[in-house]
Structure 1
Amino acid sequence: MKRRIAREKALQALFQIDISKTEPTEAIEHVLEGKAGDDYLSKLVLGVTEQREEIDKLISDNLEKWSIERLAAVDRNILRIAVYELKFFQPEIPENVILDEAIEIAKIYGDDQSSKFINAVLSKVKQTLIQE
C-alpha cells in the first residue's frame, strides 16, 4: 500500500475512532475491508491514538480563535496524522512531503477552506517543532 493510501485509510479509521469511539484495531480492520494490513497504516492509527494528548496540545497551541473540539472531524484528524508524522517520523519523511500530503488529502476529504487551513496550522506546528 502506498503511503498516500495508508494516510487516507488512517484518516478514515481515526474519523471512526473520533466519532464513534471505535477501538483502533477494529477501525483499521473496517477500513481495510478484508484486504491485507499495512504497517504504515497501523503505525499512523496506533501512533496517533497513543500520542493523541501530545498531538492535540501541539495543534491547540497553534490554532488562533479556535479550539480543537470545534474543528471539523476530518480537518482535526488530518492535522493529527500530519502532526504525528512531523513529530515522530523526522527525518525519515521530509517535512514538505508531510505538509503536501496533508493538504492534498484535505482537498479530497475536507471542505473548500480545509486545505488552506491545514496548511496554515501545519506551518505553525512545523515552526514550533523546529524551535524545540
Structure 2
Amino acid sequence: MLKLSRNKAQTKALEIVYALLTYKSIDVAIDVEHLLSGIVEAPLSEVPIFLKAVALYTVKHAHDVEVLLTPHLTDWTWERLNRLTQSILTLAVVHKLYVDTNVPKAVVINIAIKQAKLYLDDGDHKFINAILDEVLPS
C-alpha cells in the first residue's frame, strides 16, 4: 500500500472528486480504477483505502451531497459554484458522512478551509466554513 502524508492524501482526494464531478457534469462514463491509478500514479492495489473510499462514495452519493448542500447555498445554486468549490464541499461531506463518521467535524472543516485558502479566491474559505458548519453533524 502506497504511503501518503495526510496533506498529500487530501490533495489527491480533492483531485479525484474534482475529476469525478467533471465527468458527471458532462455525462461521461468513467473508469474509476483507471482514474485512481492515474491520479495516485500507482497500481490500484497500491492506492490507499481512504482514496478508494472517497472515489466510491463520491460516485455513489454525489447527487445526495448536492441535495444536502443546496438549501444552504444562500443566493447561490449548485450549478453556479465553480467546480473546485463543489469539489471541496463534496469531499468534506463525503469524508464526514460516508468515509469516516468518527472524524471530528472541526477536523473536516479545517481541511476544507485549508484547501479553499490554497485553491480558491480570497475570502471563499469563509463561505466553505459557513456551509459545512451548517451541514455537517457534530
TM-score range, shorter chain: 0.7 to 0.9
Q: Is 1:34 paired with 2:37?
A: no
CA gap of 1:23–1:113, structure 2 versus 1, over 3 A, is farther
Q: How does 1:6-17 map to 2 (within 5 A)?
A: 6-17=9-20
CA offset at residue 101 of structure 1?
Answer: 0.6
- Contact 1:17–1:23 at 8 Å: present in 2 too? no
Q: Give the CA RMSD over aligned residues.
A: 1.8
Q: TM-score, normalized by length of structure 1? A: 0.85
Flag structure 2 segments of 5+ consecutive residues without an equivalent. none
Which piece of structure 1 moves more, 22-31 or 80-89?
A: 22-31
The residue aligned with 1:118 is: 128
The residue that corresponds to 1:49 in the other structure is 59
Aligned residue pair count: 127
- Please, which moves more after superposition, 46-55 or 33-42? 33-42
TM-score computed with the length of structure 2 as normaliser: 0.82
Does residue 84 (structure 1) correspond to residue 94 (structure 2)? The answer is yes
What percent identity do the matched residue pairs reach?
27
Find the aligned partners of 1:26 and 1:69 in 2 and give their Cα distance. 27
Q: Which deviates further from its counterpart, 14-23 or 56-65?
A: 14-23
* 1:51 counterpart SS class: helix
d(CA) in 1 for partners of 2:16, 2:104? 24
Q: Deviations for 1:4-49, whole angstroms, at most 9, x for unmatched residues?
A: 3222111112212222444322221121123731110111121111
2:107 to 78, 88, 97: 97
CA distance in 2, matches of 1:68, 1:24: 24
Q: Pick the aligned partner of 1:107 from 109, 114, 117.
A: 117
Please state how far the C-alpha of 1:112 moved relative to its aligned partner.
Answer: 1.6
Contact 1:18/1:73 (<8 A) preserved: yes
**Uncovered stretches (5+) of structure 1, i.e. residues with no partner:** none
Whole-angstrom CA distance in 2 between matches of 1:78 and 1:23: 22
Distance in 1 separating the partners of 2:112 and 2:32? 21
